[in-house]
Amino acid sequence: MFEVIAIIAVVIAIAIAVVLILAISKPDIFRIQRVATIKAPAESIFALINDFHRWGSWSPWESKDPAMKRTFSGAESGKGAVYAWDGNKNVGSGRMEILDISAPSKIVIKLDFFTPFEGHNTAEFTMLPQGDATNITWVMYGSASLMSKVMQVFINLDNMIGKDFETGLANLKRVTEK
């Protein structure tokens, strides 16, 4: 019986070591990016992103918890605007603050997640006019903690978060191309 327990302990130790080695080999910084073309002026798209009060019309996370508590503070929109949320397990809790804008082409947002996992990232939206359309790029990046790297051994963050970005960009397209 002792030999079986010892073998199981060795197998578990090897599995943990393999996961840690794989995690340590992950990059120290993650970056998720999606791009879309929207047949609308950059100003129209910019206005929806620059005002947190208007995120309900396009943000992919707004519909994941209709009972989510939202608070707005700071500036009404633009630099200094703050949006905090506290929701179910699908959205967790966190806070966003617009750090910088370059109307109508760029918005930089500080993004802090508190639950279910703590994370401090940056989100950027860049709008580039292309004739009668606008190319929009949505990027989120930040440092990857050891816990984040361990999660990345089992979960593809680019696919998981990227799907939400794709939904959000499709929503922006739907709302602005009306």
DSSP secondary-structure letter at 172? H
pLDDT digits (tens, 9 = 90+) for 150-176: 887 888 888 889 999 999 999 999 999
- The CATH code of the domain at 28-176 is 3.30.530.20
CA gap 119, 35 in Å, rounded: 23
Pairing of the two strands 106-115 and 119-130: antiparallel
**110 CB burial (10 A radius; 0-12, 13-18, 19+):** middle
In the chain, domain spans: 28-176
In this predicted structure, the answer to whether residue 28 has a pLDDT above a threshold of 90 is: no
pLDDT digits (tens, 9 = 90+) for 38-77: 999 999 999 999 999 999 999 999 888 989 999 999 999 9
pTM of the model: 0.85
